[in-house]
Structure 1
């Protein structure tokens, strides 16, 4: 498992920290935050705005 986390960079370090401290319940919240950040970044691009707005 350590090799898997090491290959993922910063995200791997975060997951390794959560795994080591047994904070499994934080992983879904972090995934949702990452999804929201991706939507915000994509929504700021005028070419992708019509596609993002149809999702909501």
Structure 2
């Protein structure tokens, strides 16, 4: 668990120092899609995700 928090801290520091704020919404969207797939176990959401891409 600590490794994941370190990754989030490093990502935040990267965006803050290099002014890459446009990466924030991309990471949030990817996190939400990943959470949706994990929470619904993938099968019910698959047709909707295929439609997105």
Unaligned stretches of 5+ residues in structure 2: 46-53
Unaligned stretches of 5+ residues in structure 1: 1-7
Structure 1 segments of 4 or more deviating over 6 A? none
Q: What is the aligned-residue RMSD (CA, Å)?
A: 2.1
Aligned pairs, how many? 41
Bigger helix fraction: 2
Q: TM-score, normalised by structure 1?
A: 0.60
Q: TM-score, normalised by structure 2?
A: 0.63
The structure with the larger Rg is: 1
